[in-house]
Amino acid sequence: MTIELYAHPFSAYCQKVLIALYENATPFELRMLGPGETPEMAELAARWPLKRFPIIVDDGVTVIETSIIIEHLGLNHPGPVRLIPDDPRAALEVRLMDRFFDNYIATPQGRIVFDSIRAPADRDKLGVAQARAMLDTAYGWLDKTMAGRHWAAGGTFSLADCAAAPALFYADWTHPIGQAFQNVHAYRRRLLERPSFARAVDEARPYRKLFPLGAPDRD
Ligand SMILES: N[C@@H](CCC(=O)N[C@@H](CS)C(=O)NCC(=O)O)C(=O)O
């Protein structure tokens, strides 16, 4: 049975999974989410009441959470690109970097964007300031960590790079990466050149007007 992916092409976490699917040319059927209360949205809610996306349905089984989805794909639909190394210690480093990008880049980035679409009276000034400070600290740590590295966890493209690509892509739009962090800029450029991510970025271009802070005229 074909994998069903409930997703939207402009969503950062959906792009994380799309990269993994494109890396191994894994066949799937897109169940496009939104806008509004579509049947696909109702199916998502029925399968995962927290309604975070993407999810996949593989042979009738619902798989949630992007990192788990990518691990699931590696176990059940392996291809030539192994996104989790076989060596357990190397895999641990990949999982660490994946957590870093989700928790300390994508999460504060999302907090700033979601705050911007609230009514002015509901905005969280302190929360946004904390999110911006977290991004600056995370960029600084990443800049040191990436010195001498090509991909996030070393030599080969992995789950961590699937997480990094959309997270850094949108984070730089939301809270620009400082010029001092040249290793991060170079890594972000490498990610944009990776065909799997370049494809996800291209497919999302028609939706750039949805970016609440105004998409910059680049990338
Ligand atoms: N930890 C989740 C995060 C997924 C997530 O937050 N997805 C966003 C779309 S990029 C979402 O569902 N947003 C809707 C919402 O927050 O209500 C994962 O890795 O799958």
What separation, in Å, do the N-terminal and C-terminal C-alpha atoms of the chain show?
A: 36
For residues 219 and 13, what is the distance between their CA atoms, to the nearest angstrom?
18
From the DSSP assignment, how many helices (H) and strands (E) are in the chain?
9, 4
- Ligand 1 centroid to Cα of residue 41, in Å, is 13
In the chain, the amino acid numbered 47 is R
- Ligand 1 centroid to Cα of residue 66, in Å, is 9
Spatial contact of 95 and 71, defined as CB atoms under 8 Å apart:
no
Its pTM surpasses 0.85: yes
CA of 11, closest atom in ligand 1: 10
For residues 98 and 116, what is the distance between their CA atoms, to the nearest angstrom?
26
Please report, in tens digits, the pLDDT of each residue of the chain (219 residues total).
Answer: 799 999 999 999 999 999 999 999 999 999 999 888 999 999 999 999 999 999 999 999 999 999 999 999 999 999 999 999 999 999 999 999 999 999 999 999 999 999 999 999 999 999 999 999 999 999 999 999 999 999 999 789 999 999 999 999 999 999 999 999 999 999 999 999 999 999 999 999 999 999 999 999 999
Residues paired with residue 62 on neighbouring β-strands, in sequence order: 57
Residue 137 confidence (pLDDT): 98
Burial class (CB in 10 A: 0-12, 13-18, 19+), 112: buried
Residue 166 confidence (pLDDT): 98
In the chain, the amino acid numbered 153 is A
In the chain, the amino acid numbered 82 is R
Closest-CA residue, ligand 1 atom 15, reads 52
Spatial contact of 26 and 37, defined as CB atoms under 8 Å apart:
no
- Ligand 1 centroid to Cα of residue 148, in Å, is 32
Angle between helices 125-145 and 107-116 (to 10 degrees): 150
Closest-CA residue, ligand 1 atom 17, reads 52
* Local structure of residue 178 (DSSP, 8 states): P
Mutational pocket test of ligand 1: of 50, 53, 104, 170, the residue with most ligand atoms within 8 Å of the beta carbon: 53
Residue 35 confidence (pLDDT): 85
Closest-CA residue, ligand 1 atom 14, reads 52
Cβ count within 10 A of residue 205: 11
